[in-house]
Structure 1
């Protein structure tokens, strides 16, 4: 591991030297970004800096709108150099962009500020020479990084996998290597992406970019494993994380993926239950996968499910996808749901059941007179054939509504 760290430091110095040398030769500002348009290293200014460059240097990363613009122009897909048009509203001057590729891998983007888009042939020759040297250096770093990342990925997969013996081995290895502590608060988060994936490997790169900030935070240490269009993040917190803390983290992951991925791609996040020991990370992971299914099927969750907030949905979502269909909805309720013009009655039934059958609270929540509420309840009983004063009948209707919420989910989100 120390050799990999030393190699990374040496590689960073070599890349900085290449970028500085090219900038001095051209007399222009030069930056090397990763495939997600995040700065790796940059040269000094040459009087050609614009608002985007200044903001990026101050913040350490370009703002989301700039990243979205650059990626929307397909720069990560380019196979040859070209000019990226400027955007006055962003404060972005034109750039000459060179995709850094080696053996099929997209490694980064070499970017030269070119306000008038007038690089000479000698300039582009110098850029090409530097790009080749940068590609060789970055590919060597990639090989070293891939070896370490593959081992970590395998350990995380084993830690949350179904085999108890392998979970024990993975836990011991993670502890011995100092990659994760044993506790006291363990949470697994699952992430899944669906929709147009763009170039090969783009989703994996985007997932890595979205999850990297959570390897180390003020409150937790984490490791993640990516498998094509989904990932799992295991974190060990020093203190019990608050619900809003994990929600904010999940929102940040979704926001990053929306920035990095093509328009039309959809990301959902599921947060597992809070456990006390690393050897229970697999339980939290299983729960996180259920929470992902909830995020996919319940639009009101806005793409983020939390096991500890799912309530009865956590039980219903134990059913396989093949079983979650309209046939599960009780026939009496389906008569109400299928009938035209019954949306008001469905809302009334939901509020009535959520308020434990209390007429005063239901009338207040719906802002209707009790006489009107009684009339609606009688209509519901006539249509369904069920007695709302009967606890078992109310349970049938309440469970049926929950199932209806799940089976009418929009298609296309990953499980």
Structure 2
């Protein structure tokens, strides 16, 4: 494993040259958007300055924030030309681009070779100053030598790389003690780490104790590593604040795993790793904010209350392009959607589709755009995507997924209709059980029909003392499994061998239970009407016990 300290190059003399391209790659599109860069993206950026009307001087290679300047005014063009004459790296204007503002500025930019950028509507000027200055402080930081291919913002990869170097279990936390990522350490870990990971944040009582002890004041006030010796079953721990440009972004925590001390130089490694982590945390913060805004807009649209234009702007989608919704859930009730949230978005991108993934209770909704304009080919794209999602995501996470495919609609305005058909297909797949994992409503129409019939009968009062009612009462009193036996027998068309395999019992045991069913409730299994009513009642019973569309 390479030496993090020896190869990280932290001395001021070795500081990397920060280009506009590097700065934007760290900051992302959540705070500022590039409109044009006629001089290229390799221009150096050395600082951020706010335009001062009383002292309008501009320094070379600075990024000038034109606060209070109307981007559509002659004043904006004049500011851009003066910035170009001074050799500024670029000028950032406000978010209002109305009245051909962008085109007028582009024309002036071509004359001066100066980049034009716009602040996003959801980032204030004050926030932008902090984000850009923090970005400059961290844009030139090289990646961890243990993970040279670590993508910007890959906090889980960062945690794994640091854990390998220090020989412990690592968590990355924000300033509110929320867990952003953790290492995939396989050894036994202590209870505090286990509770922290499960709850995705440090337990409140632990946070309160550290606040009372003045721990956070000490942590945020130093660049050094804080160390705490092992106490009983609580192992030794190291923690270091992560900051950029004077702004605290979060912290890196290391806990020793059971039966193994930390590396002798763990403190020095963690100190260097915290500086490396700054770029990743900043990238995560800006891109994360952007993603949340896109998620919120997509959720509102899928629920039938949002704006197609707002989502198109936040997620870089086309309002009139064909799109479809997919409803994705784990086949098992304990499946955790957060484990495959990122995988779904990445997989859609690999297929060449822009997508927004929205958590929705125990499932995920995926709004897929960039589909083929031809409806038939678009349907094929959605089906291939769903099938591949099940195969790849299930293999990667070890969780079997089911995907309901929504109908392809001609634009974002009809996304809610596609979502409804996707969720209906997913409900039918879940209701039916079995091996089928992907489908649209047309593929599972019979199951959808049964669900609709059963739902319509939910409040219909049946005759008292039906066979299934008597059987259910007997099971409740005796703890028997006769209802389960009858359901398996009817679901397998009276095939004793198949039903016994489904119940994992001997065929003779099944035959004995069938005789008991007749004795207990008098059900005539030779009567078509009795079998039909029994199947409907069994489905109604399941509906009342577990809810519509659940097993």
- TM-score by length of structure 2 reads 0.44
Higher percent of residues as helix: 1
Aligned to 1:118: 264
Aligned to 1:26: none
Aligned to 2:296: 154
> How big is the shift at 1:347?
2.3
* 1:243-291 deviations in Å (ceiling 9; x for gaps): 64343255358648xxxxxxxxxxx966323422254542342355456
- Aligned CA distance change for structure 1 residues 254 and 397 (closer, same or farther; 3 Å): farther
Q: 5+ residue gaps in structure 1?
A: 24-28, 53-61, 86-93, 197-202, 257-267
> How big is the shift at 1:100?
4.3
Q: Are 1:182 and 2:316 an aligned pair?
A: no
Q: Are 1:8 and 2:25 an aligned pair?
A: yes
Aligned to 2:416: 282
> How big is the shift at 1:226?
4.1
Kept in 1: contact 2:496–2:510 (CA 8 A) = yes
d(CA) in 2 for partners of 1:275, 1:183: 10
Aligned to 2:531: 394
Q: Are 1:233 and 2:233 an aligned pair?
A: no
Q: Residue 39 of structure 1 is aligned with which of 158, 164, 171?
A: 158
Q: 5+ residue gaps in structure 2?
A: 1-19, 28-134, 170-181, 203-215, 220-225, 231-235, 372-377
Q: Residue 214 of structure 1 is aligned with which of 334, 341, 347?
A: 347
> How big is the shift at 1:399?
2.0
- Aligned CA distance change for structure 1 residues 97 and 313 (closer, same or farther; 3 Å): farther
* 1:194-230 deviations in Å (ceiling 9; x for gaps): 999xxxxxx9975654544234123644211347876
Q: Are 1:351 and 2:489 an aligned pair?
A: yes
d(CA) in 2 for partners of 1:353, 1:216: 41
The CA RMSD measured in Å over matched residues stands at 6.4
Superposition pairs for residues 330-345 of structure 1, below 5 Å?
331-340=466-475, 343=481
- Aligned CA distance change for structure 1 residues 142 and 379 (closer, same or farther; 3 Å): closer
Q: Which is higher, the Rg of structure 1 or of structure 2?
A: 2
- Aligned CA distance change for structure 1 residues 105 and 272 (closer, same or farther; 3 Å): farther
SS in 1 for 2:472: helix
Q: Residue 357 of structure 2 is aligned with which of 202, 224, 248?
A: 224
Q: Residue 365 of structure 1 is aligned with which of 474, 487, 498?
A: 498
Kept in 1: contact 2:500–2:510 (CA 8 A) = no
Aligned to 1:144: 286
Kept in 1: contact 2:302–2:416 (CA 8 A) = yes
- Aligned CA distance change for structure 1 residues 220 and 301 (closer, same or farther; 3 Å): farther
> How big is the shift at 1:108?
6.5
d(CA) in 1 for partners of 2:512, 2:195: 59
- TM-score by length of structure 1 reads 0.54
Kept in 1: contact 2:383–2:405 (CA 8 A) = no
> How big is the shift at 1:241?
2.1
Kept in 2: contact 1:214–1:221 (CA 8 A) = no
d(CA) in 2 for partners of 1:101, 1:398: 63
SS in 2 for 1:38: helix
> How big is the shift at 1:387?
4.7
